[in-house]
Amino acid sequence: METFLVLLRADTIGGDYWRSQEFLFFGVGCLLWLALFFGFRTRLMMWLYVAGHELTHALFALVYRGKVSKVHISAEGGHILTDRNNFVISLSPYFFPFYTAIAILAWAMAGWIIGRESMPDEPWLYGLIGFTWMFHLSFTIWMIRRDQPDLAQNGKLFSATVIFSMNVLLICVLLIVSSPTATFHGFGVSFWENARSLGSRFIESVLELIG
């Protein structure tokens, strides 16, 4: 989390990336989805969320070389039948933005088929990412507040920790990919330094409190 805040401060706010066209389109996409989510939520939106949720379960089951024999999707809920399960498969819909991945893949395929010069300007892709990522985040928060078997199965505290950590990591990846100044190498170095010094800084804080 500390590394994320450093990245946000140095490369987004400090680097004036928040003034860029890409960041503007991303923000507009996020706000547009939030307006729909809070003002015009429909059964179709719920069906789309359940579809993405269950298909993500199925995708990660296949990644772990499991067999998916059934996928049930409805606006009221859904489930899959598979012979493989672990905490990654169970929690994957809460940290993997299914429709964002579909949007990026579709954009890349369209550019390959019709040519990049025929595609809309790249900021429109950031708007699409913002819209679909906020779809993922808003529904994730909304569903976590309800009783979810996926979370209870692995322990609520463990599940919440994994979901929070993976979503923060996802935001970091999005910032690094889109920012002209941030790099994966710089993020890795900062993460390692913060992790290495965490113990000593924690002990110093405790000593200050009891001293």
- Does the residue 148 lie in any domain? yes
pTM, whole model, 2 decimals? 0.81
3-state percent helix, strand, coil for the chain, nearest multiple of 5: 75, 5, 15
- DSSP H or E run through 82: strand 77-82
- Does the residue 192 lie in any domain? no
| Total structural domains within the chain | 1
- Does the residue 188 lie in any domain? no
Q: Torsion angle of alpha carbons 13, 14, 19, 22, nearest 10°?
A: -70
- 77-122 pLDDT, tens digit per residue, is 899 999 999 999 999 999 999 999 999 999 989 888 888 777 777 8
- Does the residue 4 lie in any domain? no
- 34-83 pLDDT, tens digit per residue, is 999 999 989 999 999 999 999 999 999 999 999 999 999 999 889 999 99
- Does the residue 82 lie in any domain? yes
What is the chain's alpha carbon radius of gyration, rounded to the nearest angstrom? 20
Instruction: Give residue 38's domain range.
Output: 21-183
- Does the residue 92 lie in any domain? yes
- Does the residue 46 lie in any domain? yes
- Does the residue 132 lie in any domain? yes
